[in-house]
Structure 1
Amino acid sequence: MSQVTITRDVRVPMRDNVELSADIYKPKQTPAPGIVLRTPYGKLSKAQHDNGVFFAENGYVVMYMDVRGRGDSDGEFSPYRNDGIDGYDSIEWLAAQDYCNGIVGTMGGSYLGHVQFLTALHQPPSLKAMIPIVSPSDPFVEWPTGVPSPHHMCWLFMVGGRQMQNVDVVDWEQVYKTLPIEKMDEATGRYSKHWKEEMQHNTFDDYWDHVAYQEKFDRIDIPALHISGWYDDEQIGTPLNFTRMFNPTTDKKHAKDNYLLMGPWPHGINQSTSLGELEFGPDSLIDLKGYQLKFFDKYLKGIDNDFGEDKKNVDIFLMGHNKWVKEENWPLPDAVPTKYYISSERGANSRFGDGKLTTDPSEVDFGSDSYNYDPLDPVPYVTDVVSSQIGGADDYSAIERRDDVLVYSTDELTEDTAVVGPLRAKLYVTSDCKDTDFMVKLLDVHPNGKAIRMMDGMTRMRYREGMEKEVLMTPGEVYEIEVDVWNTSNVFKAGHKIRIEISSSAFPKYDRNLNTGESLATSEAVKVAHNTVFFDKDQLSYIELPIKNLK
């Protein structure tokens, strides 16, 4: 029988006298180190209860707290806005209780991960370690189109009241098509103050800087275990956060005490051995709680266990070979950046074209490929319109029948090829519009013809010079752009093909560019864009893939 003591709805005062509600799980023996989890999703779920009991049974005081304005907590919910200061006050309150020994860690996923970084920026003296899971990076890294993904509107609806709202009562396929996009909330039948605010800030300004931390990691110096999955829709955040905090050569005390764990998982990590079209085998599931416990035991209890003793701080799952590998750093120091150039003779429109992908620039047939992008008929993105998981290991071969999708493939591979690391594309492009998008997707083409998505990324042309300002195009002018295609860890097996798609939409993962150059929030006018990608002698477009030696 568990000897954990649970106290519900403990009122925790913040510095402005607003009281937040917490459930406290106490171990048999106290005082003990504390673990703080702050959530907008309700602290009474079965999964959170089981998590609290597990860590309390292993000698920790666990505090699950409803963030300000959610659940049983007082105040007004404003996503991320108060979480840094509230997190500081919550940690120091717990540290001061007689059942806590003054040493506190934080953990949690998604929103619960983001708020850990916002809290750590304020440097609470009792905070000694953190476990951010599937944590976003800065909002404008997540939303390269300059406005939140339409899925974000679904999230805001879900957390729009004090308790979780039922998203199934809304026809999201229709809501996502709303123009102007600033009225998307009204199409749900529920006004969202936060959506309206975000629509007024389409560049990286003080509004976003308040909840950003990518350029502020110099303020954070504590051990951290960063956890995510290759198919997490927030995937770009976790490797980026790790690389900003882990530096073996820095003077920071705990820079070497940062760890990265990446599995073959979606946003709901470590739950299944398969995803979409792919099966990863039984080793893809791990004892995640045990992994986290060992980390906290080392850094909160000072237990001399073997966590991190091999000096390999990166644990990643290699899809395709379906095995775990340990590395010293991320990106992998021994992965060789290799350029795969695009070209075609007759045209790469659809998978029935002759687009090819080659590492030999002398094999490029100089020219260009063009297509029309119609915002009223965007390239669909395979997704559950109400899921927190925006994309998975899905087959895009049917979508590749469209003429507005350029398809470039290698020949069948003669040996297994491991692509492990950040993915970047450089394109030379032009359009007859003042603004448009360019989307790049990496796929693994199986012998049966299925084209399985690995990862993708997008550049909105008005933000090609950065998110701080909008710079429209001159129609007809050629631009050199980079597209961040995020990260992957996949072995493309012999007999498979490496493929990329280039298009101008991925709806509803990204909002549609209407191609007019007008306000992203308020515009309703639509223009069909005629877009071109070049592969000329001095304008070779390519994707750069980090190739890991498997021998």
Structure 2
Amino acid sequence: MAERWGISIPMRDGVQLAADLFLPAATEDGMPTIVVRTPYGRQSHALIQQARFFASHGYAVLNVDVRGRGDSEGVFTPYRNEGRDGYDTVEWAAAQPYASGRVGTLGGSYLAKSQWLCALEHPPHLQAMVTLVSPSDAFVEWPTGTPVPSHLCWLFLVSGRTVQNTHALDWENIYWHLPLYTMDEAAGRVIPQWREEFTHPTLDAWWQEISYQQRFGEIDLPVLHVSGWYDDEQVGTLRNFVGMTTHAPSARARAAQRLVMGPWPHQVNESTRIGDVDFGPEAVIDLSGLELRFFDRWLKGIDNGVDREPPVRYFLMGKNEWRDASAWPPPDTAYVPWYFHSRGSANGSIGDGTLSTRKPSVEEPADRYKYNPLNPVPFLTQPTSEQIGGPDDYREVHLREDVLVYTSDPVHEELEVTGPVCVELYAATSAPDTDFMAQLHDVWPNGYVQRLCDGMVRVRYRHGMDKAVFTQPGEVMRLAIDCWNTSHVFLPGHRIRVHVTSSAFPKYDRNPNTEDALGLSERLECAEQTVYHDALRPSAVILPVIKR
């Protein structure tokens, strides 16, 4: 194998990006190239091993430090240069004497979104992409109008030219800092990107410049999409797959999309276990082999059957086995409402909240709780972890009175829930702005309360992220809370549970319940919250049920 370290790739404005090149031992003309562009250090052990794997299978591989990171020149501004720099890198790679002119891109998280931005620039020699755990556009993963607390941890990570040590800081305390705008000072480093984002609390032109999910009709490429049910950016991958199968400009591209969803966090395919839950021996797959087959088909033209296989492969939790489907969501999905019920005291798991497919009666009283941002409901996570939440046990959280808990009777037969989950909530608040959060759980017979998926709505953005619209005290709102996706079987004896509350800290920042500009004020107010579930206002979780 031939390896060339520290080569330079020129960009159109004269900036030189640093790269390492990996070639097969028997170098031949006409090799396809795989480009990997990263802000995390091109010489990480994982990227070098990945490059050597693909080089051993007949590919040239370029690992590149993005602009302003590692040994590359220029200034790093997240995502702002990745489209143009990606184009220039792909075209440089295609012009090398060993190259066939067919280029693919590969990578996860930041490395995935940067591929989408590159594809929008239409480099002529880009032929295929493998995108893992893709971030979404602004305000999709966190529809809050503010950057979420963990985003500061990431900005700190990339705030120098090399990866910074985020484990040296006490993030659990930093996340409590107010106002949010100066939280970077609490972390010990002023970060201009953090502060700039607070000046754009709506989906404006500044955000549209680095948006891609409304432009799938411009991307005519085969794409392999990979994520996990506990990926904190999961929604991006599924939205991308659906967007490309629906809107890609050619029938060839629409048919060439492939989706793999495993029982994984953001660090996909590394373990069969997340926290206390083990998903069994089938949970880890030969992902490198899957990527290789995809590239072999679309960069080498090998007829290996990839384009004739089912486009969707997903892991069914509970049963802990893989399933295939012809689309996402699976075509045989039935969307079944499970309605909230109580006698007005659904506060906590000791309350009287229930969940059933029976529609509520006219007389059912509403449930009420007080949201105090000084005492937010926790979202179970480790502040410096690479993942934000897993199949964590929420039984202690469900002892709180400011959490409304609705639980079904034990199911008598297997109930498969696969697809997007939504909570339709009829609610009112005493505040001009507040949050409503919902989570779906599996309550095991032994009492373990496994989180499956969750979502939130910030009331001022209930009509969209393009403008803030405050509410009047007591105004009843119909809120659609997107709880993302899951694939899980509720086994006999297990119970379905939904909780509703107004905070999930520190996954999301605490809503101060005021009309103040988000993130710029230290003023916090309590809010009196009401959730309705009667015949005219039937709050419910809509479950995507698969009947086999």
The normalised TM-score by structure 2 is 0.98
CA distance in 2, matches of 1:437, 1:388: 26
Residue from 4, 10, 13 that aligns with 1:13: 10
- Give 1:430-509 correspondences, 5 Å limit: 430-509=428-507
1:530 and 2:541 aligned:
no
SS of alignment partner, residue 139 of structure 1: coil
CA distance in 2, matches of 1:363, 1:475: 25
Q: 1:145 Cα deviation (Å)?
A: 1.2
1:206 and 2:242 aligned:
no
CA distance in 2, matches of 1:346, 1:439: 19
CA distance in 2, matches of 1:471, 1:237: 26
Q: Deviations over 1:104-154 (max 9, x none)?
A: 000100000010000001111100000000111112101111112100000
Q: Deviations over 1:390-432 (max 9, x none)?
A: 1101000001110000000110000110000001111111000
Judging changes above 3 Å, is the alpha-carbon distance between structure 1 residues 6 and 454 closer, same or farther for their aligned structure 2 residues?
A: same
Q: 1:388 Cα deviation (Å)?
A: 2.8
SS of alignment partner, residue 247 of structure 1: helix
Q: 1:19 Cα deviation (Å)?
A: 0.6
Judging changes above 3 Å, is the alpha-carbon distance between structure 1 residues 283 and 365 closer, same or farther for their aligned structure 2 residues?
A: farther
Q: Percent identity?
A: 50
1:244 and 2:246 aligned:
no
Q: Deviations over 1:310-367 (max 9, x none)?
A: 3x10000000000000100001110100001101014110000010111111578622
Judging changes above 3 Å, is the alpha-carbon distance between structure 1 residues 402 and 306 closer, same or farther for their aligned structure 2 residues?
A: same
After TM superposition, which residue ranges in structure 1, 4 or more long, deviate above 3 angstroms? 247-253, 362-365
Judging changes above 3 Å, is the alpha-carbon distance between structure 1 residues 249 and 48 closer, same or farther for their aligned structure 2 residues?
A: closer
Name the amino acid aligned to 2:47.
Q
* Aligned residue number for residue 33 of structure 1: 32
CA contact (8 A) 1:425 1:483 kept: yes
* Aligned residue number for residue 263 of structure 2: 264
CA distance in 2, matches of 1:454, 1:364: 31
Name the amino acid aligned to 1:10.
I
CA contact (8 A) 1:343 1:364 kept: no
Q: 1:248 Cα deviation (Å)?
A: 9.4
Name the amino acid aligned to 1:339.
P
* Aligned residue number for residue 402 of structure 2: 404
CA contact (8 A) 1:341 1:364 kept: no
CA distance in 2, matches of 1:111, 1:215: 18
CA contact (8 A) 2:344 2:365 kept: no
* Aligned residue number for residue 76 of structure 2: 77
CA distance in 2, matches of 1:384, 1:465: 32
Q: 1:251 Cα deviation (Å)?
A: 4.3
Q: 1:308 Cα deviation (Å)?
A: 3.3
Q: 1:249 Cα deviation (Å)?
A: 10
CA contact (8 A) 1:345 1:365 kept: no
CA contact (8 A) 1:395 1:453 kept: yes
Name the amino acid aligned to 2:28.
T
- Give 1:82-101 correspondences, 5 Å limit: 82-101=81-100
SS of alignment partner, residue 422 of structure 1: strand
Q: Deviations over 1:35-54 (max 9, x none)?
A: 01110000111111100000
* Aligned residue number for residue 227 of structure 1: 226
Segment drifting more, 355-364 vs 132-141: 355-364
Q: 1:475 Cα deviation (Å)?
A: 1.2
CA distance in 1, matches of 2:214, 2:333: 26
Q: 1:247 Cα deviation (Å)?
A: 3.4
SS of alignment partner, residue 89 of structure 2: helix
CA distance in 1, matches of 2:224, 2:354: 40
Aligned residues: 546
- Give 1:103-182 correspondences, 5 Å limit: 103-182=102-181
SS of alignment partner, residue 523 of structure 2: coil
CA distance in 1, matches of 2:489, 2:412: 13
SS of alignment partner, residue 308 of structure 1: helix
1:418 and 2:416 aligned:
yes
CA distance in 2, matches of 1:346, 1:352: 13
Name the amino acid aligned to 2:392.
D
CA distance in 2, matches of 1:58, 1:236: 32
Name the amino acid aligned to 1:99.
Y
* Aligned residue number for residue 380 of structure 2: 382
CA distance in 1, matches of 2:303, 2:250: 23
* Aligned residue number for residue 195 of structure 2: 196
Name the amino acid aligned to 1:13.
P
* Aligned residue number for residue 288 of structure 2: 289
Q: Deviations over 1:271-298 (max 9, x none)?
A: 1111123211111111110010000000
- What are structure 1's unaligned runs of at least 5 residues? none
Residue from 317, 320, 329 that aligns with 1:319: 317
CA distance in 1, matches of 2:126, 2:517: 43
1:51 and 2:50 aligned:
yes
- What are structure 2's unaligned runs of at least 5 residues? none
SS of alignment partner, residue 252 of structure 2: coil
CA distance in 2, matches of 1:362, 1:218: 43
Judging changes above 3 Å, is the alpha-carbon distance between structure 1 residues 156 and 432 closer, same or farther for their aligned structure 2 residues?
A: same
SS of alignment partner, residue 393 of structure 1: coil
CA distance in 2, matches of 1:249, 1:380: 40
- Give 1:359-378 correspondences, 5 Å limit: 359-361=357-359, 366-378=364-376
* Aligned residue number for residue 548 of structure 1: 546
CA contact (8 A) 1:102 1:126 kept: yes
CA contact (8 A) 1:344 1:365 kept: no
Name the amino acid aligned to 1:357.
L
Residue from 22, 32, 39 that aligns with 2:19: 22
Name the amino acid aligned to 1:169.
A
Q: Deviations over 1:453-481 (max 9, x none)?
A: 00100000000000000111111111111
* Aligned residue number for residue 300 of structure 2: 301
Name the amino acid aligned to 1:29.
T
Judging changes above 3 Å, is the alpha-carbon distance between structure 1 residues 364 and 496 closer, same or farther for their aligned structure 2 residues?
A: farther
SS of alignment partner, residue 518 of structure 2: coil
CA contact (8 A) 1:221 1:252 kept: no
The normalised TM-score by structure 1 is 0.98
CA distance in 1, matches of 2:362, 2:114: 48
CA distance in 2, matches of 1:394, 1:530: 28
CA contact (8 A) 1:200 1:521 kept: no
Segment drifting more, 472-481 vs 322-331: 472-481
SS of alignment partner, residue 482 of structure 1: strand
CA contact (8 A) 1:358 1:364 kept: no
Q: 1:301 Cα deviation (Å)?
A: 0.1
Judging changes above 3 Å, is the alpha-carbon distance between structure 1 residues 395 and 102 closer, same or farther for their aligned structure 2 residues?
A: same
CA contact (8 A) 2:3 2:22 kept: yes
CA distance in 1, matches of 2:353, 2:109: 38
CA distance in 2, matches of 1:267, 1:327: 23
- Give the superposed CA RMSD: 1.2
CA distance in 1, matches of 2:138, 2:517: 19
